[in-house]
């Protein structure tokens, strides 16, 4: 699913209005009907009071049109116009007059106004600011936000939480903290970034009929990755294939006390479908790997506790390196020697990334389209500090272009960056914030690359499968008890889930009179 900028959404609106021969007011009416249907399906006429706070632009117009539909169906509403400017949009004024025609008189809120009383059991509809906001709200509007938050009522935001920008991080406290956001046509990138995603607990997309041709053709910088996006990537197994068909993965890492990281990556590699997997570890890792993962082959360094000389006589299809490796001088030298003689793309994680950040000349030796999988601190060491999440993404794009590499920026919504494009993952959960899950991801991506997936495809698909595996296993463990090894056990079910038909949503039973 494409993630559009505010400007692109604006163009989509204009294109739709022109092509479908409708007015902007008619498009707004579509949005309002979708908002009403969403609420009505869940409330079924319940007389919980709904407080609608409407700005004076098109977002406010959506709120006023929603208020009209709610009133026509007998809901208990209160309507408030947040009068933050003397300018009013045309469609706002049209819907304001329609409200007045139905004898609904909004309360106009200005600086110094008394705020309406709202109880915890009631509902707030936030339609104050839309995606066109380009400056911080006035202090009195921020005070209104604080009043809404203090009520502890459920806050439903229209399109985007008010005060939130689409391309910048708001000042702390100057945006609505929404419980649920109903986003028109497409989600917003800000729903998925750490600094801005906190402003909405959940979101849902409402289809308002924007022109499909326009949406399909327009190029975007970011795409949301779900099942529909990864299914075309999937490579089915051929009947007359064998283990050699699916590549040879080579997992390099480990040091005394950190052999477990290599075990996790190696097993994930196997579970991904790699035909053969060989692990290269210090001597101390030989027995644990041979004992715990009989399906894998093991080569060892001459050193007992750390990597010093990575010598092998196999021809790997893909290499994953860095997990549990440490940064001893001999290990750094061993990695440099490997980079000098290896041309196939690699997956680099953990200490391999830290070695790169401390030895910048090695970046020039990376094979083209290698995959780097940093967590935020490792990313900062690679690309430098950033002022906010948007700056972070720009620095990541610059780094990717400069070194022709793929960055997998791990987080709640892992974002894969290659050159100027970003791919936002939709799977995963907080239970995966535990040691070893990153090692699993390294093995998973390495195994996919060994099977013939291109590095970018392997990264996008691997991140999706990794998160989906965690989501599936969560049902058995809960958040606190989900382990990296559980995620490995979920890889098979995650593959199977790709072809599981979605169950149609069950209709809620209307209340009995």
| 303-317: average pLDDT | 97
pLDDT digits (tens, 9 = 90+) for 96-120: 999 999 999 999 999 999 999 999 9
Nearest residue to 148 via CA among 53, 28, 29: 53
Categorize the per-residue pLDDT at 510 as very low, low, confident or very high, splitting at 50, 70 and 90: very low
pLDDT of residue 505: 53
Sign of the dihedral defined by the CA atoms of residues 460, 464, 465, 470, in that order: positive
Contact 404, 368 (CB under 8 A): yes
pLDDT of residue 513: 36
pLDDT of residue 310: 98
**For residues 329 and 447, what is the distance between their CA atoms, to the nearest angstrom?**
29
Categorize the per-residue pLDDT at 330 as very low, low, confident or very high, splitting at 50, 70 and 90: very high
Residues 6+ positions from 308 with CB-CB distance below 8 Å: 301, 302, 330, 331, 333, 334
pLDDT digits (tens, 9 = 90+) for 230-258: 999 999 999 999 999 999 999 999 999 99
% the chain with pLDDT above 70: 98
Residue-averaged pLDDT of the chain? 96
- Exposed (0-12), middle (13-18) or buried (19+): which is 350, by Cβ within 10 Å? buried
Q: What is the DSSP string of 64-97?
A: HHHHHHHHHTT--EEEEEE---S---HHHHHHHH
pLDDT digits (tens, 9 = 90+) for 170-221: 999 999 999 999 999 999 999 999 999 999 999 999 999 999 999 999 999 9
Nearest residue to 456 via CA among 264, 225, 218: 225
Categorize the per-residue pLDDT at 503 as very low, low, confident or very high, splitting at 50, 70 and 90: low
pLDDT digits (tens, 9 = 90+) for 124-181: 999 999 999 989 999 999 999 999 999 999 999 999 999 999 999 999 999 999 999 9
181 membership: H or E segment, kind and range: strand 178-184
**For residues 354 and 214, what is the distance between their CA atoms, to the nearest angstrom?**
43
Contact 421, 221 (CB under 8 A): yes
pLDDT of residue 391: 97
Q: How far is CA 84 from CA 60, 89, 96, 127, 295, in A?
A: 11, 13, 16, 13, 66
Nearest residue to 188 via CA among 230, 228, 224: 224
Question: Looking up tokens 């490796």, which residue turns up?
Answer: 325
For residue 286, give the 3-state DSSP assignment: helix
**For residues 309 and 282, what is the distance between their CA atoms, to the nearest angstrom?**
10
441 membership: H or E segment, kind and range: helix 437-450
Nearest residue to 99 via CA among 59, 48, 62: 62
**For residues 8 and 16, what is the distance between their CA atoms, to the nearest angstrom?**
12
Report the predicted TM-score, pTM, of the whole model to 2 decimal places.
0.94
Q: How far is CA 35 from CA 6, 208, 227, 307, 510, in A?
A: 20, 10, 26, 59, 18
pLDDT of residue 86: 87
Contact 460, 423 (CB under 8 A): yes
pLDDT of residue 504: 59
Residues 6+ positions from 484 with CB-CB distance below 8 Å: 264, 434, 435, 436, 437, 439, 440
Measured at the CA of 341, the angle between CA 267 and CA 269, to 5 degrees, comes to: 10
Q: How far is CA 286 from CA 157, 214, 300, 424, in A?
A: 56, 57, 7, 38
**For residues 473 and 494, what is the distance between their CA atoms, to the nearest angstrom?**
10
Categorize the per-residue pLDDT at 508 as very low, low, confident or very high, splitting at 50, 70 and 90: very low
| 340-345: average pLDDT | 93
**For residues 393 and 395, what is the distance between their CA atoms, to the nearest angstrom?**
5
pLDDT at 298 over 80: yes
pLDDT at 502 over 80: no
Nearest residue to 122 via CA among 101, 98, 146, 152: 152
pLDDT of residue 501: 78
Categorize the per-residue pLDDT at 506 as very low, low, confident or very high, splitting at 50, 70 and 90: low
Sign of the dihedral defined by the CA atoms of residues 300, 305, 309, 310, in that order: positive
pLDDT digits (tens, 9 = 90+) for 354-367: 999 999 999 999 99
Residue 253 Rama label (left phi>0; alpha psi -120 to 50; beta): left
């Amino acid at each position: 699913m494409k993630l559009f900028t505010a400007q692109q959404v604006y163009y989509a609106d204009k294109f739709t209005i022109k092509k479908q021969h409708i007015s902007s007011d008619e498009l707004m009416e579509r949005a309002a009907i979708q908002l009403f249907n969403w609420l009505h399906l869940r409330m079924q006429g319940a007389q919980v009071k709904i407080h609608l706070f409407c700005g004076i632009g098109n977002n406010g117009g959506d709120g006023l049109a929603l208020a009209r539909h709610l009133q026509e169906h007998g809901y208990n509403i209160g309507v408030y116009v947040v009068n933050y400017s003397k300018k009013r949009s045309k469609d706002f004024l049209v819907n304001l007059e329609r409200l007045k025609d139905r004898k609904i008189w909004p309360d106009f809120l200005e600086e110094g106004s008394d705020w309406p009383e709202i109880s915890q059991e009631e509902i707030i509809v936030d339609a104050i600011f839309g995606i066109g906001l380009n400056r911080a709200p006035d202090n009195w509007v921020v005070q209104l936000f604080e009043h809404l938050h203090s009520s502890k009522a459920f806050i439903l935001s229209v399109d985007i939480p008010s005060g939130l920008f689409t391309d910048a991080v708001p000042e702390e406290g100057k945006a609505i903290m929404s419980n649920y956001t109903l986003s028109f046509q497409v989600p917003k990138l800000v729903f998925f970034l750490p600094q801005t995603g906190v402003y909405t607990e959940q979101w849902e997309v409402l289809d308002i009929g924007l022109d499909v041709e326009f949406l399909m053709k327009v190029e975007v910088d970011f795409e949301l990755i779900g099942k529909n996006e990864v299914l075309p990537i999937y490579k089915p197994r051929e009947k007359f294939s064998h283990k050699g068909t699916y590549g040879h993965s080579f997992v390099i890492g480990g040091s005394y006390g950190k052999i477990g990281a290599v075990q996790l990556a190696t097993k994930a590699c196997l579970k991904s479908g790699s035909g053969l997997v060989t692990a290269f570890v210090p001597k101390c890792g030989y027995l644990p790997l041979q004992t715990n993962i009989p399906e894998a082959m093991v080569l060892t360094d001459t050193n007992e506790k750390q990597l010093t000389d990575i010598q092998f006589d196999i021809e790997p299809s893909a290499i994953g390196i860095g997990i549990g490796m440490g940064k001893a001088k001999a290990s750094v030298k061993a990695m440099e020697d490997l980079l000098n003689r290896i041309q196939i793309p690699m997956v680099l994680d953990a200490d391999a990334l830290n070695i790169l950040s401390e030895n910048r000349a090695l970046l020039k030796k990376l094979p083209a389209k290698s995959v780097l999988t940093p967590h935020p601190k490792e990313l900062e060491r690679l690309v430098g500090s950033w002022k906010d999440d948007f700056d972070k993404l720009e620095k990541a794009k610059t780094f990717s272009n400069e070194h022709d590499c793929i960055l997998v920026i791990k987080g709640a919504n892992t974002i894969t960056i290659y050159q100027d494009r970003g791919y936002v993952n939709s799977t995963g959960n907080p239970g995966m914030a535990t040691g070893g899950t990153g090692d699993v991801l390294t093995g998973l991506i390495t195994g996919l690359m060994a099977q013939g997936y291109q590095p970018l495809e392997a990264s996008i698909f691997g991140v999706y499968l990794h998160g989906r595996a965690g989501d599936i296993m969560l049902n058995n463990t809960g958040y606190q008890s989900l382990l990296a090894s559980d995620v490995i056990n979920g890889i098979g079910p995650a593959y199977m889930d790709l072809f599981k038909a979605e169950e149609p949503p069950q209709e809620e039973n209307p209340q009995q009179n």
